Amino acid sequence: MAFSNEQLERYSRHIILQEVGVKGQKKLMDAKVLIIGAGGLGAPAALYLAAAGVGTIGIADADEVDLSNLQRQVIHSTPDVGKAKVLSAKESMNAINPEVTVNVYREFVNASNITDLIAGYDFVIDGTDNFPAKFLINDACVLSKKPFSHAGIIRFKGQLMTYVPGQGPCYRCVFREPPPPEAVPTCRQAGVIGAIGGIIGSLQAMETVKYIIGKGDLLTGYLLTYDALKMDFRKIKLPDVKNCAVCGENPSILQPFDYEQVACKL
Amino acid sequence: MKLTVAGNAKEYANGLTVAQLIELEKVETPQYVTVSINDEFVESGVFANTSLKDGDNVEFLYFMGGGR
């Protein structure tokens, strides 16, 4: 496929990069990425991936835009309040780049839909806000051999890691089981500074781009933590775990399952 | 003895256990923290009887559940 003049201009800053070039841009345009959660993390990730020309982007979220979302979820605007988040997100993404095919899934992921949902995508971004969803995404991606980016944010802090099958630990290797409901504060209870989603969600987009173009070192085997108040980034090496319940040598988790959802709506 | 805790090298009392270090460092939600020593995870059940040695590299990994 030859690039049109418009595409050459739109992606010129990519194409000029030695690590991207025409080849890398073609890979981006052929790639399919699923973003689960159209919020603090998903918003910047979706905008940057759409701008980058990722050919197909799926976005899953059941919620509507709320006024309290707009402090951080930069993909939605004030007139979008009350609108389905996935539709508001799609409009913003296509406004930046009409070439991108945006598939919307107005649903929350659960054990019965996640395997089918991720099947059509090359890479998954976890932009969810609760532990049951984060463990579900991990398990489903491990079991389907699907690379994904995990992230979490709270207050002035954030962290992320990248899972690629066979290249290091998964989220469950590190955290085993979700904490009991309400044991660890959520953003609604504890607050979250808007820009932290921008930073961590953009890092997720960066990992996605690197995975697609096949350049650089991914955050596999590492947890990157960021403390905005201390302005401190740390890349923590993660041990290998042989007895992980989902990715270990004798796994006990053989299919995705749902943990009880906390009655909490952000 | 010298320990490196979350990237910072500091002097600590000899014989300090993981549980004591967690208290000393005022670790948030201590019952749900994941601990690694020299790139090996430590089971939370043995924090109280795992003594640290000079030169150990200790990391605390925290649950972070927000995102939307």
Contacts of A168 in chain B (CB under 8 A): none
Q: Which residues, 6 or more positions from B65, have their beta carbon under 8 angstroms from its beta carbon?
A: A129, A130, A131, A134, A152, A154, A184, A186
Closest residue by Cα to residue A123 from A175, A58, A37, A171: A58
Residue A146 falls within a domain, yes or no? yes
Q: What is the mean pLDDT of residues A233-239?
A: 97
**Cβ contact B41–A239 (<8 Å):** yes
Q: Is A141 helix (H, G, I), strand (E, B) or coil?
A: helix
Q: Is the pLDDT of residue A62 over 90?
A: yes
CATH number at residue A138: 3.40.50.720
Residue A180 falls within a domain, yes or no? yes
Complex confidence, ipTM: 0.94
Residue in B with minimal Cα distance to A185: B65
Q: Which two tokens stand for residue B41?
A: 């995870």
Sequence spans of domains, chain B: 2-61
Q: Is the pLDDT of residue A164 over 80?
A: yes
Q: Is B3 helix (H, G, I), strand (E, B) or coil?
A: strand
Query: pLDDT for B17-45, tens place per residue?
Result: 999 999 999 999 999 999 999 999 999 99
Residue A10 falls within a domain, yes or no? no
**pLDDT value at residue A261:** 66
Q: Which two tokens stand for residue A217?
A: 């070192």
The domain tally of chain A equals 1
The whole-model pTM stands at 0.96
Residue A99 falls within a domain, yes or no? yes
Q: From the CA of B52, how many Å to the nearest CA of chain A?
A: 18
Query: pLDDT for A104-162, tens place per residue?
Result: 999 999 999 999 999 999 999 999 999 999 999 999 999 999 999 999 999 999 999 99
The string of DSSP codes covering A149-165 is: EEEEEEBTEEEEEEE-T
Q: Which domain holds residue A175?
A: 31-237
Does an H or E element contain B4, and which? strand B2-5
**Cβ contact A234–B29 (<8 Å):** no
Contacts of A241 in chain B (CB under 8 A): 41
Q: Decide: A182 and A262 in contact? Cβ < 8 Å.
A: yes
**pLDDT value at residue A263:** 47
**pLDDT value at residue A262:** 56
Contacts of A236 in chain B (CB under 8 A): 36, 59, 61
Residue A197 falls within a domain, yes or no? yes
Residue A149 falls within a domain, yes or no? yes
* Chain A residues bordering chain B (beta-carbon distance below 8 Å): 37-42, 61, 63, 73, 126-131, 134, 151-154, 157-159, 174-176, 179, 183-184, 186-187, 190, 192, 197, 223, 234, 236-239, 241, 266
At A232, the amino acid letter reads: D
**Cβ contact B63–A241 (<8 Å):** no
The string of DSSP codes covering A74-91 is: TTS-GGGTTSBHHHHHHH
Distance CA A92, CA A29 (A): 18
Q: Decide: A263 and A182 in contact? Cβ < 8 Å.
A: no
Residue A244 falls within a domain, yes or no? no
The beta strand positions in chain A, using DSSP E, are 32-36, 56-60, 101-105, 123-126, 148-154, 157-163, 222-227, 232-237
Fold designation for B2-61: Ubiquitin-like (UB roll) (3.10.20)
Q: Between residues 1 and 60 of chain B, which touch chain A (CB distance below 8 Å)?
A: 6-7, 29, 31-32, 34, 36, 39-41, 59
Alpha carbon A234 to chain centroid, angstroms: 20
**pLDDT value at residue A266:** 40
Distance CA A209, CA A13 (A): 14
Q: Which residues, 6 or more positions from A175, have their beta carbon under 8 angstroms from its beta carbon?
A: A135, B34, B61, B63
Residue A154 falls within a domain, yes or no? yes
Closest residue by Cα to residue A76 from A103, A40, A104, A101: A40
